Amino acid sequence: MAQIREIKKRIGGVKTVQRITKTMQMIATAKFTSAVQRVNAAKPYSERIGRLVGEALAAAGGDFEHPLISGPTESPSRERLLVITSNRGMCGAYNSSALRAASGHIQGLRDRGCELELETAGKKAVGFFKFQKTPVSVSHPVGDEPRYDEIDRMARSYIDDFVAGRHDAVYVACMQFVSTSKQIPRVVQLLPLQPAVAHSDGAEGADGAKALYDFSPSVRDILDELMPLAVKTLLFQAFLESSVSEQIMRMIAMKAATENAGDLARNLTRRYNRARQAQITTELMEIISGAAALD
């Protein structure tokens, strides 16, 4: 009898967990739909900003120099790394993948003898580096839906410190959203601007001819506006893709947890039915044996 009560209690607990994971799956699905719309809306803009920077640099000529490309004149042998994770768990391998990529980058810096200034966005990264006894200089309180004004302030501080020569480079460790079935960890070089972004070819028309531009004001003035904007857009895109990756991986994890809870509840129900049937059979045998003894 005690075993039957225990199994019934476990069935109730499993069904409660199943309802919770189902609700979390539905919430993650709704957040994913909103987040992927934001990514799809921002991606063409960020790509176009990169192409504009490349076209303006091509017009400026090969001897053009800018501090956001060339970096500080004297190397301080110090880099800054921003690690983006989630504030909550139950999102599969999202946090572990991003933290593994960040740890590999940090180990590479240590091997080169380069100093590191570590920053985090997300409580899971704070807990991880606290456990690793790795000091974190700043922890940015960015929510599930990153706002551009928050990222703008963050990027401006990175640009100011980089131009002032406090860092050789600025990197971002995050998850890249490729598709609903593929999210990969990566370490993005934010500063200096990568050659693939800063030195792209000029735009081409449908007939293959490259477009020619007349710049007003000067190319240098335009690049002074475009290049910080390109850095801010790249950082904002990293946060948006991390948010999408988090929600889709939580959605998949909660879907798997709901299905596993359903399977466990069915197995426990079968065990309960067998135990209950065994108990009923035993009681019937006792009744029959007692009746036979009276005869």
Q: pLDDT of 176-185, one tens digit each? A: 998 888 899 9
Model pTM score: 0.83
Residue 215 located in a structural domain: yes
Residue 81 located in a structural domain: yes
160-204 per-position pLDDT tens digit: 999 988 999 999 999 999 888 889 999 999 999 875 444 444 445
Residue 183 located in a structural domain: yes
Lowest average pLDDT, out of 66-80, 114-128, 219-233, 247-261, goes to 66-80
Would you state the pLDDT for residue 205? 44
Would you state the pLDDT for residue 198? 44
What CATH number is given to the structural domain containing 141?
Answer: 3.40.1380.10
Q: Which domain holds residue 86?
A: 23-200+211-252
Residue 151 pLDDT more than 50?
yes
Q: What is the mean pLDDT of the chain?
A: 87
Q: Report the distance separating Cα 78 and Cα 159, nearest Å.
A: 15
Q: Report the distance separating Cα 11 and Cα 242, nearest Å.
A: 36
Residue 242 located in a structural domain: yes
Rounded mean pLDDT, 92-106: 94
Residue 248 located in a structural domain: yes
Q: What contacts 190, CB < 8 A, 6 or more positions away?
A: 82, 155, 158, 169, 170, 171, 172, 231, 234, 235
Residue 10 located in a structural domain: no
Would you state the pLDDT for residue 292? 80
Residue 293 located in a structural domain: no
Radius of gyration of the chain (CA): 29
Q: Are 19 and 261 in contact (CB under 8 A)?
A: no
Rounded mean pLDDT, 43-53: 86
Alpha helices in 132-218, H assignment, sequence order: 148-163, 195-198
The phi-psi region of residue 35 (left if phi > 0; otherwise alpha if psi is between -120 and 50; otherwise beta) is: alpha
Residue 265 located in a structural domain: no
Q: How many domains in the chain?
A: 1
